[in-house]
């Protein structure tokens, strides 16, 4: 899985959490949207992350903070949050490679 794909997935996940009520209401009518599978996949992967990366994932993609607002909240520079986000992307990429090898 490429980093570009992971970035796109994370945008979808953030959108899902911003509009979770709509997805929950729609579920009873139309059934589960494919984003739910991505959410489960990424949530399972992040369970193995360091506390900092776990916190970053929850803050940016579940609580929908921007990198800048999170840097203000935590007292870090925006550049540090950006660097952590790159580590998060690489962690997820590595997790999905490991997962694929285990199932092969």
pLDDT at 103: 60
CA distances from 75 to 28, 56, 66, 68, 85 (A): 42, 13, 14, 10, 16
Burial of 51 (0-12, 13-18, 19+ CB in 10 A): exposed
Kindly tell me if the per-residue pLDDT of 104 is higher than 60. no
42 or 97, higher pLDDT: 42
- Each residue's pLDDT tens digit, 43-90: 999 999 999 999 999 999 999 999 999 999 999 999 999 999 999 999
- Entry pTM: 0.88
Q: For the chain, what are the domain ranges?
A: 3-97
- Each residue's pLDDT tens digit, 3-17: 999 999 999 999 999
């Amino acid at each position: 899985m490429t980093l570009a794909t992971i970035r796109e997935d994370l945008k979808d996940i953030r959108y899902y959490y911003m509009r979770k009520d709509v997805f929950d209401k729609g579920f009873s009518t139309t059934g589960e949207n494919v984003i739910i599978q991505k959410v489960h996949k990424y949530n399972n992967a992040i369970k193995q992350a360091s506390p900092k990366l776990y916190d970053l994932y929850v803050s940016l993609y579940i609580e929908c903070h921007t990198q800048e607002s999170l840097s203000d909240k935590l007292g870090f520079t925006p550049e540090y949050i950006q660097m952590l986000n790159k580590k998060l992307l690489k962690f997820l990429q590595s997790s999905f490679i490991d997962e694929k090898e285990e199932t092969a």
